[in-house]
Structure 1
């Protein structure tokens, strides 16, 4: 098929490249001439594992091209994907759809007869209707179709997520769009039993927001349980194992940490809340998730304060990992930013390391020394804080790290290193959802009329781990 991708950001570039991998002829369009020039020279605007090799391969093969000429790119396309940004509007929380509507307006005069316009950007319910209306003001009804096809890509794992997805969701209002999109996906996924969910356009749009809000809630729930574990003498890792083996719950997104970030969860939860408000529906769980996540990011600074004795004024703190997750250079809504800003307000001097994200971090952080080696970053530091669990950070020689520092304080906000190894290297380590070695069991408060006698809770360290098996 001939496919045109409007937008060469994260979704557009990954999707366009993968469509070319399947044998389609793909043209990616962007108004940013510098970005297009870079792509034609093999310079990618984002970091994503495996992406550069695939872009180079299919660009050289002639199946993947990049242009600023929208009219030429659209005129012969069977499918035109709109994959432009939908950032949250400052001060409002709802999605800014101006780029989507602009794309619809600009492609309308150039669409081929029978072309299917597919909104792949993450958009609120009803956006497809608006796009249809915009195009319909220029084109004859029935000469085109508008569909929804949300993406479910994890940054850092986008290529395997696209090529081997859990499911594909398409939202259509006519059989022509359904036939074309099923042809695009069915031939590739049918042999692998990948479900293709065909639904109405509005339902498809809502599925994306609902999925991200559910995952954000799952993360936040585990973060709050981690706080309970620290006080109750429990271990969040074992707790996650114990509940994750329940097939109704699943093991994904059960790792406690400093809060979620990135380009999707923060923006999409807010947009879903605004959509619900527009329809007079209260999504209380999502509201609390958003509030709790924002508070948690800044609360992590208090863990650092506790670890160094209550005051960081005049101390040097080394922050290892800046991006919101490993294997991406994305700094959007990264927990490292509010953590660093809070520590700076308390008087700390910050040094930081990230293997990929420092160019983007430099645009967001003030008065932070960015060091391209983790051991040099820790030199003469009074504490090290692990914020992002990059493999290179997980594999650090902790003894070597400790020797560079002024004080043996390690705060691991991702539980990325072994507590035993850190202690053997001489560190005093603080982790997420882990009881300290000198933890004293706290007597829980009895509530309710039926409570009788003393409520006993076992201490994990005293009780040992008999009967526990890591499957």
Structure 2
């Protein structure tokens, strides 16, 4: 087993560090945020991910996982140093590499022996070469860069870490790539070796393709509404073709989170800088931006003025089983509801503390779905948490002043809504409204 340093304790860094410790390596996680490090040292996770805190505490107790603010302490005698800091989006859509650069400069001050630098951060093609060149300009200690992109899905990150479908290792230095394969061998996941730049591109290409599937099925959904087809039947029929597959063909109000929005725009910018017009991806981004407000436009059409209306919003995070609010559709929808003069009462099982730091102070927060729905003139279902979608339509009807439900995740059966007497508006399926004629 190896001694490993992981720099950055955000989503990727913390899950990576905990997983590496779980399979037997000795791992030290490094972060410059003193409060976060104290929290981690006490066995508390700063992010919500099922099972993560228990595994964190267990490996701290077993003396396989440590946390520090000191680069010198964390990197001493490390066989490999993982870089897992954020690469947020610049105003122009490019990736902001200032945190990556800061890591390289800090490491140049403390490294004393030949080192393998493993990049988990999602970085533009050519970044690992740039990191290696920058390091060479700052220190005489040999450093070998390896691109090892992550494919963790928020909400199932630990499961993905131990049951992924591939581990990509991009290296132009044979022994460095072999070391990273050895580190990952206990996971028992197939390894794919390639050069550094191809590994960097694999991450962006994969995320952009999945985002494209989402925007594509949302455009099909919008056409289904106009032509009287059911997008779920269409997606099921398409997904039976193994060349297409059913995953990521769930129509809704678009993708969000920390990866797809940022990575699609970064890839478009990489293409622009290389002199290539990536037109299809430009449209993916545009479709997603418009899709977020699809439900709001339906509500405006149905209700007319929203001024003074009591609106319940069920679900705030960009997807279930995470507290991540980054690029969540709820942000755009709630902003429009507030601008239109509506009174918004929101509920989310996990994400409300994060939401309160982002959303306008005018938002009211409920302790349950039932409380949020009390006396509501309409409700928006934006995140398909089990706790929310398990609520019977009969209860929704009884709780609301006007049983009008705008479902952005197609969680309920329109036929059931019609039987119960709820106005029901979803994505890519026939609306159940007073004026609707059943086909």
Does TM, normalized by the shorter one, top 0.5?
Answer: yes
Deviations 1:325-352 (A, max 9, x none): 0000000000001111112212211110
Of 181, 194, 199, which aligns to 2:194? Answer: 199
Q: CA deviation at 1:402?
A: 1.8
In the aligned structure 1, how far is the partner of 2:295 from the partner of 2:222?
11
Deviations 1:207-232 (A, max 9, x none): 11111111111100011111111111
1:80/1:115 contact within 8 Å kept: yes
Partner of 1:381: 376
User: How much does 1:7 deviate?
Assistant: 0.2
Q: In the TM superposition, what are the counterparts of 1:203-282 in structure 2 within 5 Å? A: 203-282=198-277
Q: CA deviation at 1:88?
A: 0.4
Instruction: Give 1:175's aligned residue.
Output: 174
Aligned pairs (5 A) from 1:261-410: 261-308=256-303, 310-366=304-360, 367-410=362-405
SS at match of 1:269: helix
- Tell me the alpha carbon deviations over residues 430-461 of structure 1, each in whole angstroms, 9 at most, x when there is no partner: 11111235756xxxxxxxxxxxxxxxxxxxx7
Residue number in structure 2 paired with 1:184: 183
- Is the Cα–Cα contact under 8 Å of residues 222 and 256 in structure 1 kept in the other structure? yes
Q: Distance in 2 between matches of 1:49 and 1:278?
A: 40
Corresponding residue of 1:88: 89
1:61 aligns with 2:62: yes
Cα drift, residue 40 of structure 1: 1.1
Q: CA RMSD in A?
A: 1.4
The aligned residue for residue 47 of structure 1 is: 48
Give the whole-Å Cα distance in 2 for the aligned partners of 1:336 and 1:13. 26
TM-superposed deviation, 1:305: 2.0
Q: Which runs of 5+ in 1 are unaligned?
A: 441-460, 463-471
Given that residues 233 and 439 in structure 1 are in contact (C-alpha distance below 8 angstroms), is that contact kept between their aligned partners in structure 2? no
Q: In 1, Cα distance between the equivalents of 2:92 and 2:155?
A: 29
Residues 60 and 424 (structure 1), Cα distance of their counterparts in 2 relative to 1, 3 Å cut? farther
8 Å Cα contact 1:352/1:369 also seen in 2: yes
TM-score, with length taken from structure 2: 0.96
- Name the residue aligned to 2:79: 78
The match for 1:458 is none
Q: Is the 8 A contact 1:384 1:409 kept in 2?
A: yes
Cα displacement (A) at 1:187? 4.4
Contact kept in structure 1, 2:124 and 2:270, CA below 8 Å: yes
8 Å contact kept, 1:317–1:385: yes
Contact 1:231 1:435 in 2 (8 A): no
SS at match of 2:117: strand
**Rg larger in 1 or in 2?**
1
Q: Secondary structure at the residue paired with 1:137?
A: helix
Paired position in structure 2 for 1:163: 162
Count of aligned positions: 435
What SS does the corresponding residue of 2:293 show, helix, strand or coil? helix
For structure 2, the residue ranges without an aligned partner over 5 or more in a row are none
